[in-house]
């Protein structure tokens, strides 16, 4: 059955700068899927989504901040809630500093629940939104007007190529050729579809949640979430054409991962599993590894959190080499957003050996009773 929906609903969102009691921690019954950034002066920012009892029409985006290296965090600084009780859902936030120093907050909006119960299943009705600030070092920065940027669903940070082009990864969620790449050549003013990779076996597809890094030879390496672990695809023309997604041999639960180029030139990978090959059956053993050869081999293995129920890492590195990784823990029961603070040396040693390093710093905890649990 097809539903008649006005196009206008897709062009609207709502940013609440002073969230009220309806967004308080003690009424929130579900939360997770975080992202983070760090201002040049050391201020940390965290974003995640929650509301409702699961991934549903009541979801909204939240943002808070820390001025003491993540030891304590503020109350909510803003909320993105397009229409309160629905049917528009806001989810999957991403924080990112661009080369000009602006901090972006990206998020996605879709009608209904994750299963898109309010529209025909053949209709894509999801869009990426974004806004930015030049004042990420301040506790209460001024934000630009939110704008709808492009279609499909983005979760992970964009990258800037050596050519100056900006790329972001956005997914059509398990459709053919769903692992998409968009490009901006005008510093984020416009984003246009560039290319896409495909997991050929439909039974192995998931939500993609892909990330791209540029290798030293100029090629692009895409890692993709699949049901067998991490898949990979390559582009040799800056993202226009991509090889079919094939297994990397890197084990991983069917969940989000995090990969990024560090200031040392090495790559960091945060995934599930005690070793690079291990593929656990549940979301547990969140572990950080380092590669000095563009991901061909991996060293170290710092266990950030071994418990079942930890997932969806995102991270950022400070100028001094401190690495911050944010993740969630048991979205419907404990409802915790947590952070680990460590260094590349800690990863290689497989233990915390830097004085300032610390595990399980609490970013936020919701305490509303979830009736579905």
Positions in the chain short of pLDDT 50: 1-5, 117-122
In 3D space, the residue among 224, 303, 299, 228 whose CA is nearest the CA of residue 259 turns out to be: 224
Query: pLDDT tens across 58-92, in order?
Result: 999 999 999 999 999 999 999 999 998 888 999 99
What is the rounded distance in angstroms from the CA atom of residue 138 to the CA atom of residue 300? 36
Query: pLDDT tens across 297-316, in order?
Result: 999 999 999 999 999 999 99
Q: CB burial class (10 A; 0-12, 13-18, 19+) of residue 176?
A: exposed
DSSP state of 98: -
DSSP letters of 238-269?
Answer: TTSS-PPPEE-S----SS--EEEE-TTS-EEE
Predicted confidence at residue 86, as pLDDT, reads 81
Supply angle C-alpha 175, 214, 152, rounded to 5. 25
Rounded to two decimals, the pTM is 0.96
Predicted confidence at residue 7, as pLDDT, reads 60
Contacts 24+ apart (CB under 8 A), 143-152: 143/15, 143/78, 143/105, 146/13, 146/15, 146/80, 148/10, 148/11, 148/13, 149/106, 149/191, 150/182, 150/191, 150/192, 150/193, 151/124, 151/126, 151/127, 152/124, 152/126, 152/128, 152/180, 152/182
Predicted confidence at residue 114, as pLDDT, reads 62
Question: What are the extents of the domains in the chain?
Answer: 14-365
Q: Give me the CATH code for the 14-365 domain, please.
A: 2.120.10.10
């Amino acid at each position: 059955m097809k539903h008649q929906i006005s196009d206008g609903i897709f062009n609207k969102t709502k940013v609440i700068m002073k969230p009220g009691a309806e967004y308080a921690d003690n009424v929130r019954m579900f939360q997770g899927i975080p992202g983070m950034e760090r201002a040049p002066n050391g201020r940390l920012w965290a974003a995640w989504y929650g509301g409702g009892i699961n991934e549903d029409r009541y979801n909204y985006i939240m943002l808070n901040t820390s001025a003491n290296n993540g030891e304590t965090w503020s109350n909510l600084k803003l909320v993105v809630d397009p229409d309160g009780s629905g049917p528009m859902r806001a989810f999957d936030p991403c924080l990112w500093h661009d080369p000009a120093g602006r901090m972006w907050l990206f998020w996605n909006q879709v009608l209904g629940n994750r299963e898109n119960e309010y529209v025909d299943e053949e209709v894509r009705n999801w869009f990426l939104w974004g806004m930015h600030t030049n004042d990420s070092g301040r506790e209460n920065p001024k934000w630009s007007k939110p704008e709808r940027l492009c279609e499909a669903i983005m979760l992970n940070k964009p990258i800037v190529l050596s050519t100056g082009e900006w790329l972001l990864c956005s997914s059509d969620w398990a459709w053919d050729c769903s692992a998409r790449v968009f490009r901006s050549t005008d510093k984020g003013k416009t984003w246009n579809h560039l290319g896409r990779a495909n997991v050929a076996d439909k039974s192995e597809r998931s939500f993609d949640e892909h990330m791209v890094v540029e290798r030293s030879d100029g090629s692009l390496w895409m890692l993709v979430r699949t049901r067998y672990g991490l898949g990979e695809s390559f582009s040799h023309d800056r993202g226009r054409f991509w090889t079919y997604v094939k297994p990397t041999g890197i084990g991983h639960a069917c969940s989000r991962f995090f990969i990024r180029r560090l200031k040392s030139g090495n790559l960091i990978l945060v995934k599930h599993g005690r070793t690079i090959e291990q593929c656990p059956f549940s979301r547990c053993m969140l572990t950080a590894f380092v590669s000095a050869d563009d991901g061909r081999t991996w060293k170290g293995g710092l266990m950030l959190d071994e418990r079942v129920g930890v997932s969806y890492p995102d991270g950022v590195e400070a100028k001094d080499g401190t690495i911050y990784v944010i993740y969630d823990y048991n979205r419907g029961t404990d409802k915790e957003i947590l952070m680990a603070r460590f260094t590349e040396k800690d990863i290689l040693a497989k233990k915390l050996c830097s004085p300032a390093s610390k595990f399980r710093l609490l970013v936020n905890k919701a305490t509303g009773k979830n009736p579905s649990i």
